[in-house]
């Protein structure tokens, strides 16, 4: 246990999902007292209780017991409900508290919520995440933080419990802006890989031959390697990020581009690739499965060679 944890900070946590469970686990294991909002999925809740965390039944109770509250949920709609809803955070927040939104949210919503909480003398910070649940569990996530210099220094020791790379990107809202840009690039890669694999197969170049050129070359990267694990190996869990979440993020990107009055044709094309799979019933599939879908609608079979029980039919 990390005995250097600041005893003045009481941590609250809402959102013990794929990413949140690992983050909360690391906060507790490294010395901070933590209160979390209970959930129907009991496995992560019971694990957190076994580590010494305290479970409560409302967001307001989380706020009452905490000085720093982390939110790790799907997006702005959920964040707004947690803060503003019945028995929400606003009912229990104390002056001087900080709400840290680790979700990928709409920056316009983030700024509106920050202004609203400032009236209560509560700060809102955005600290969205990069990498996967594996790194969340290991405590080596990346985070890009939108906060004042003073707030960043206060939060940094807690962020260091679960992040291997912490970047102070700017003021509140800038974390979510940068996260959307980051996801535009990564999801753009996914759309390009999917179309390239489809075209390759169509002209007689199999995925493994395609991979033999890209892997370890200049076009290789960590995202490519986890993306290809589905097509090459049938590993559906190598990149556990859903099509629904990808589409949500690209919709937020479109809104940001519209507000900035710039043309965003590549962003829209990427969004439409994910929208197509979502509309076809694949919203809960993971990003690498986009390749199988793009192949199918073009008459190409990109289903993994190593079949799995959950593979698309």
Q: Where are the chain's structural domains?
A: 11-172, 178-297
| Residues whose CB is less than 8 angstroms from the CB of residue 153 and which lie 6 or more positions away in sequence, other chains included | none
Partners of 129 in the β-ladder: 143
User: Hey, what's the torsion of the CAs at 170, 176, 182, 183, to 10 degrees?
Assistant: 180
**Does residue 2 register a pLDDT over 90?**
no
Q: According to the CATH classification, is domain 178-297 in 1.10.1040.10?
A: yes
- Output the pLDDT for position 39: 83
How do residues 231-273 score in pLDDT, each as one tens digit?
Answer: 999 999 988 899 999 999 999 999 999 999 999 999 999 999 9
How do residues 13-55 score in pLDDT, each as one tens digit?
Answer: 999 998 999 999 999 999 999 999 988 889 999 999 999 999 9
d(CA 285, CA 300): 19
**Does residue 7 register a pLDDT over 70?**
no
Q: What radius of gyration, in Å, describes the C-alpha atoms of the chain?
A: 20
Assign 232 to helix, strand or coil: helix
Here the tokens at position 176 are: 């979510």
Q: Outline where DSSP puts E strands in the chain.
A: 11-14, 34-37, 54-56, 68-71, 98-101, 123-126, 129-130, 141-146, 163-170
Q: Which fold has domain 11-172?
A: Rossmann fold (3.40.50)
**Does residue 99 register a pLDDT over 60?**
yes
Residues noted as catalytic = 179
How do residues 135-149 score in pLDDT, each as one tens digit?
Answer: 999 999 999 999 999
Q: Do domains 11-172 and 178-297 have the same CATH topology?
A: no
Instruction: Specify whether the CB–CB gap between 12 and 66 falls below 8 A.
Output: yes
| Residues whose CB is less than 8 angstroms from the CB of residue 303 and which lie 6 or more positions away in sequence, other chains included | 292, 295, 311, 312
**Does residue 3 register a pLDDT over 60?**
no
Here the tokens at position 70 are: 């982390």
């Amino acid at each position: 246990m990390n005995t250097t944890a600041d005893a003045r900070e009481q941590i609250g946590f809402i959102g013990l999902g794929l990413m949140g469970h690992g983050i909360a686990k690391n906060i507790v294991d490294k010395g901070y007292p933590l209160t979390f909002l209970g959930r129907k999925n009991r496995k992560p809740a019971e694990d957190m209780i076994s580590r010494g965390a305290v479970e409560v039944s409302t967001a307001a109770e989380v706020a009452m017991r905490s000085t720093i509250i982390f939110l790790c949920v799907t997006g702005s709609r959920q964040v707004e409900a947690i803060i503003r809803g019945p028995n929400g955070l606003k009912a229990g927040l104390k002056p001087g508290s900080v709400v840290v939104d680790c979700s990928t949210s709409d920056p316009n919503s983030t700024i509106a919520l920050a202004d609203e909480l400032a009236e209560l003398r509560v700060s809102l910070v955005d600290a969205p995440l990069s990498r996967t649940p594996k790194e969340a569990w290991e405590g080596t996530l990346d985070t890009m933080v939108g906060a004042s210099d003073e707030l960043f220094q206060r939060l940094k020791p807690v962020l260091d419990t679960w992040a291997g790379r912490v970047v102070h990107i700017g003021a509140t809202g800038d974390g979510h802006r940068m996260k959307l840009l980051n996801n535009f690039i990564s999801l753009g890669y996914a759309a390009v890989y999917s179309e390239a694999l489809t075209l390759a197969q169509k002209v007689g170049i199999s995925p493994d031959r395609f991979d033999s050129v890209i892997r370890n070359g200049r076009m290789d990267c960590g995202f490519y390697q986890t993306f290809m694990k589905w097509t090459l190996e049938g590993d559906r869990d190598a990149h556990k990020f859903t099509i629904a979440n990808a589409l949500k993020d690209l919709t937020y990107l479109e809104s940001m581009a519209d507000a900035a009055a710039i043309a965003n044709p590549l962003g829209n094309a990427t969004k439409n690739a994910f929208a197509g799979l979502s509309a076809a019933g694949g919203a809960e599939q993971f990003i690498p499965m986009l390749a199988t879908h793009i192949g199918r609608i073009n008459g190409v079979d990109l289903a993994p060679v190593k079949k799995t029980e959950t593979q698309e039919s």
